[in-house]
């Protein structure tokens, strides 16, 4: 009987409640008795302590979820910085520098319309390196590069001192051969045989750096080796293209030939232009072999990325190995990628690693064999034996007269961990008139936002570049 009575009371209450709601819906006035009745219902069902507590908990839950999203965007960098301080308290060089003191460990350079700024940041050592060789030997060719070392400074130093010097010397020599027409008369001309003209003896100019640190960590010492390679690695070599292109990606990881010395005239195309794709690829793979050979002798596991830009007239060639990155701001202010990162989780990289017998694992980020966060690099010899990591560059070629860019940005991943391509372009657009064309401001901003890596930024200012004149000169050369 009690259950039936409760059911009747609940039913009558529900019916009365629905009548009140219908009156509100239809706009019928409600008398005082109905309001009092509604208030009793609310007080009886809603204002119970357990219901109020549950409601408060739900409100706090929604506020918490919203706060987590905001915190993750704006406060995560600070939390990471705090953790970094605690985890590195045993080593004074790993202490995070105060923001007003960080420029003590920085390097900068400006040559003509190219400026660079590098910051050690929150790392214990500076393993980034950069090179600016503008208009080398009055050839009209500029070589600009960023090397982001990891596991030590050896590989980045070796690449900077040997790869860039070799490229510099070969460009000078090839330009001289072309100017004298020797590539037509002596198609197999090589400096190792009696040449019709003497080989230029000028060496690659060293980058002029104004260093603010008290110790010369960014310059390093030149590494060289006179020994012959006795254990050559199986690496890839580019299939050269003889046709001019405006933009194309060259993937060079489909062959397995060993890099050998080639005739220097083979880098000159039939139209008298330098085949930079073949030249850069051969040089990168050859230097990688030398790094691996030297590293094996000393058990040095260091590696480095390489981002190399060659600018000649309206031609831009960008070679990339690893996760340093370049981006162009075109005449309309759009961000156009100059390179694409080599990450283990990318489909083609993951497939290649798996076919080589390796694996990728997530350890903060996706890593090759759970170790290396980039799938391509120079050095890293423990991962080279089975070709889990390769040094084959991807090369993009641009005809800049099609884009008439305002500026180019080349940077190590210490910047790209914080900024997207579009964000970096928008930042520099407002600061081209600043010191170092905004490279310093962009680097410091990445630091302030929480970048935990070394940061190197190079800005190539092309705002005042005479594209019509450059295009006319290119047509004359054809």
Residue 102, domain member (yes or no): no
Residues 411 and 378 in one domain: yes
> Which span out of 167-181, 200-214, 261-275, 458-472 was modeled with the highest average pLDDT?
167-181
Residues 15 and 153 in one domain: no
Dist CA 324 CA 306 (whole Å): 7
CATH code, 366: 3.60.40.10
Residues 128 and 267 in one domain: yes
Q: Which residues contact 36 (CB under 8 A, 6 or more apart)?
A: none
pLDDT greater at residue 116 or residue 215: 116
Residues 439 and 296 in one domain: yes
Residue 458, domain member (yes or no): yes
Cβ atoms of 158 and 224 closer than 8 Å = no
Residues 336 and 390 in one domain: yes
Residues 435 and 355 in one domain: yes
Residues 166 and 64 in one domain: no
Residue 467: predicted pLDDT: 76
Least confident stretch, 72-76, 115-119, 150-154, 283-287: 72-76
Give the closest residue to 190 by CA, choosing from 277, 273, 262, 280.
Answer: 262
Assign 166 a pLDDT band (cuts: 50, 70, 90): very high
Give the closest residue to 127 by CA, choosing from 280, 288, 338, 324.
Answer: 324
Least confident stretch, 189-193, 259-263, 473-477: 189-193
39 pLDDT higher than 90: no
Residues 80 and 168 in one domain: no
Least confident stretch, 96-110, 240-254, 256-270, 397-411: 240-254
Residue 148, domain member (yes or no): yes
Residues 334 and 299 in one domain: yes
Least confident stretch, 79-88, 272-281, 315-324: 79-88
Residues 119 and 77 in one domain: no
Report the 10 Å Cβ neighbour count for 210.
9
- In the chain, the largest separation of any two C-alpha atoms, in whole Å, equals 119
Dist CA 344 CA 357 (whole Å): 14
pLDDT above 90 covers a percentage of the chain that reads 44
278 pLDDT higher than 70: yes
Cβ atoms of 386 and 368 closer than 8 Å = no
Assign 258 a pLDDT band (cuts: 50, 70, 90): very low
159 pLDDT higher than 60: yes
The average pLDDT across 58-76 equals 60
Residue 338, domain member (yes or no): yes
Residue 254, domain member (yes or no): no
User: Could you give the angle at which helices 276-298 and 164-180 cross, rounded to 10 degrees?
Assistant: 150
Question: Against a cut of 0.75, is the pTM above it?
Answer: no
Dist CA 114 CA 410 (whole Å): 11
- Look up residue 188 and give its two tokens: 């197999």
The average pLDDT across 344-369 equals 90
User: Could you give the angle at which helices 2-26 and 32-45 cross, rounded to 10 degrees?
Assistant: 130
pLDDT greater at residue 426 or residue 266: 426
Residue 335, domain member (yes or no): yes
Residue 230, domain member (yes or no): no
Dist CA 94 CA 407 (whole Å): 35
Residues 58 and 133 in one domain: no
Strands 106-111 and 210-211, bridge-based pairing: antiparallel
Q: Of 84, 116, 151, which residue constitutes the final position of a domain?
A: 84
Residue 466: predicted pLDDT: 80
Q: Of 52, 84, 116, which residue constitutes the final position of a domain?
A: 84
Domain with 461 in it: 108-183+262-477
Least confident stretch, 89-93, 303-307, 410-414, 447-451: 89-93
Q: Considering the chain, what is the average pLDDT of its residues?
A: 76
The average pLDDT across 163-188 equals 80
Residue 200, domain member (yes or no): no
Residues 63 and 165 in one domain: no
HEC letters along the chain: CHHHHHHHHHHHHHHHHHHHHHHHHHCCCCCHHHHHHHHHHHHHHCCCHHHHHHHHHHHHHHHHHHHHHHHHHHCHHHHHHHHHHHHCCCCHHHCCCCHHHHHHHEEEEEECCEEEEEECCCCCCCCEEEEEECCHHHCCEEEEEEEEEECCCHHHHHHHHHHHHHHHHHHHHHHHHHHHCHHHHCCCCCCCCCCCCCCCCCCCCCCCCEECCCCCCCCCCCCCCCCCCCCCCCCCCCCCCCCCCCCCEECCCCCCCCCCCCCHHHHECCCCCECHHHHHHHHHHHHHHHHHHHHHHHCCCCEECEEEEEEECCEEEEEEECCCEEEEECCCCCEEECCCCCCCCCHHHHHHHHHCCCCEEEECEEEECCCECCCECEECHHHHCCCCCECCCEEEEEEHHHCCCCEEEEECHHHHCCCCHHHHHHHHHCCCCCHHHHHHHHHHHHHHCCCCCCEEEEEEECCCCCHHHHHHHHHHHC
The average pLDDT across 94-116 equals 75
Residue 177: predicted pLDDT: 87
Q: How many domains does the chain have?
A: 2
Residue 95: predicted pLDDT: 42
Residue 197: predicted pLDDT: 39
């Amino acid at each position: 009987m009690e259950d039936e009575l409760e059911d009747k009371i609940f039913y009558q209450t529900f019916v009365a409640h629905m009548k009140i709601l219908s009156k509100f819906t239809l706009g019928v006035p409600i008398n005082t008795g109905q309001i009092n009745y509604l208030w009793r219902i609310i007080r009886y069902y809603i204002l119970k302590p357990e219901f109020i507590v549950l409601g408060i908990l739900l409100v706090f839950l929604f506020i918490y979820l919203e706060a987590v999203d905001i915190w993750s965007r704006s406060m995560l960098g600070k939390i990471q910085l705090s953790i970094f301080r605690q985890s590195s308290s045993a080593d004074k060089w790993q202490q995070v520098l105060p923001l007003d003191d960080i420029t003590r460990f920085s390097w900068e350079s400006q040559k003509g319309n190219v400026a660079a700024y590098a910051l050690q940041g929150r790392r214990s050592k500076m393993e980034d390196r950069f090179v600016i060789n503008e208009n080398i030997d009055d050839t009209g060719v500029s070589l600009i590069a960023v090397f982001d070392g990891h596991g030590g400074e050896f590989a980045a130093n070796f690449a900077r001192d040997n790869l860039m010097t070799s490229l510099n010397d070969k460009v000078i020599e090839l330009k001289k051969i072309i100017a004298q027409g020797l590539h037509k008369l002596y198609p197999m001309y090589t400096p190792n045989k009696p040449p019709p003209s003497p080989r230029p003896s000028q060496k690659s100019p060293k980058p002029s750096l104004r260093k603010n640190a008290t110790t010369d960590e960014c310059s390093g010492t030149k590494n060289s080796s006179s020994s012959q390679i006795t254990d050559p690695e199986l690496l890839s070599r580019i299939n050269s293209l003889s046709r001019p292109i405006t933009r194309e990606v060259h993937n060079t990881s489909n062959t397995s030939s060993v890099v050998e010395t080639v005739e220097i005239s083979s880098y000159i195309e039939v139209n008298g232009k330098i085949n930079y794709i073949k030249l850069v690829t051969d040089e990168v793979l050859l230097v990688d072999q030398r790094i691996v050979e030297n590293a094996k002798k000393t058990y040095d596991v260091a590696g480095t990325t390489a981002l190399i830009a060659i600018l000649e007239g309206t031609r831009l060639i960008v070679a990339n190995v690893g996760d340093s990155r370049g981006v162009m701001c075109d005449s309309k202010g759009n961000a156009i990628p100059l390179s694409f990162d080599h990450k283990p989780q990318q489909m083609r990289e993951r497939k290649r690693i798996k076919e080589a017998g390796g694996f990728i694992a997530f350890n903060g980020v996706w890593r090759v064999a759970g170790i290396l966060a980039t799938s391509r690099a120079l050095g890293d010899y423990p991962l080279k034996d089975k070709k889990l990591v390769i040094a084959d560059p991807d090369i993009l070629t641009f005809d800049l007269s099609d884009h008439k860019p305002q500026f180019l940005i080349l940077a190590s991943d210490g910047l790209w961990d914080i900024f997207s391509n579009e964000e970096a372009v928008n930042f520099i657009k407002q600061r081209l008139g600043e010191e170092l064309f905004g490279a310093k401001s962009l680097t410091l901003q990445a630091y302030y936002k929480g970048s935990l890596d070394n940061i190197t930024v190079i800005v190539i200012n092309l705002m005042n570049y005479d594209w019509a004149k450059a295009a006319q000169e290119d047509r004359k050369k054809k």
